[in-house]
Each structure stands twice: as C-alpha cells, then as structure tokens.
Amino acid sequence: MQEFARRLSTLGAGVYTSDDVVDLATAADVRISADREIDAAMAQRLLNQISPTPPVTGAQITASQWPPPVSSQRAAPPVSFSSPGAVDGPADQPSRPRRPGPARSNRRPGTRPTGR
C-alpha cells in the first residue's frame, strides 16, 4: 500500500498516504490489507476512483519498472478545432502566379532594349 501511494504521488496527483489508499479502496469497494500487495486489477479499480484520471493504468503502476517507460505513457489527447478555417496559415495566403521563362530583369515592362 505504501509503495502504491508513493508511485501515485510521483504522478503529480498530490501527496498520497496509505490512509488515502485505504479511502480509495473503501470508495471502490476493494478489500486490502497491509500485508497484501496491490495487483494490477485492484490498482485499476483504485485509479478509477481518482479524478482527474492518472495517466497510467493499473498494470503500469504495479509493474516492477517504475516509472513506466516514456513510450508506454499515454500521450496528450489529440486536439481538434471546431472551426478549421478560423486560423489562416501561410499556405492559406493567396500567391502570385509565377510565369515560366527566364528570370525578370530590372527593365520596365513594355520597353525594348536599344541596339546601341
């Protein structure tokens, strides 16, 4: 229980104590005792009592490796915009058409080079 509370605290969920874990167990209708380890299923039921939900699963928090590898941690949820056209990016700007051919010289349009 103490190790579960310590791991839970490292998630930034505040400082948890064994008493807090007992309270979570009571709320989840889970029977725990000081001499019994918390398995993955029990850990998940305890984690389900916490709001906001911690970014790990019961299996991750009870795994021998702590903290879990970065690749197995949940990423932030994808962001969606309700109005995709509301933000103009560089690709949305009108562009001037390019003319094929040699690069422009510094001459004014409509003038001809003189044959001097």
- 41-88 pLDDT, tens per residue? 999 999 998 888 888 999 998 998 888 877 655 555 555 556 555 555
Contact by Cβ (8 Å): 75, 55:
no
Contact by Cβ (8 Å): 39, 62:
yes
pTM over 0.75: no
Contact by Cβ (8 Å): 32, 19:
no
Query: pLDDT tens digits for 81-108?
Result: 565 555 555 555 555 666 666 665 666 6
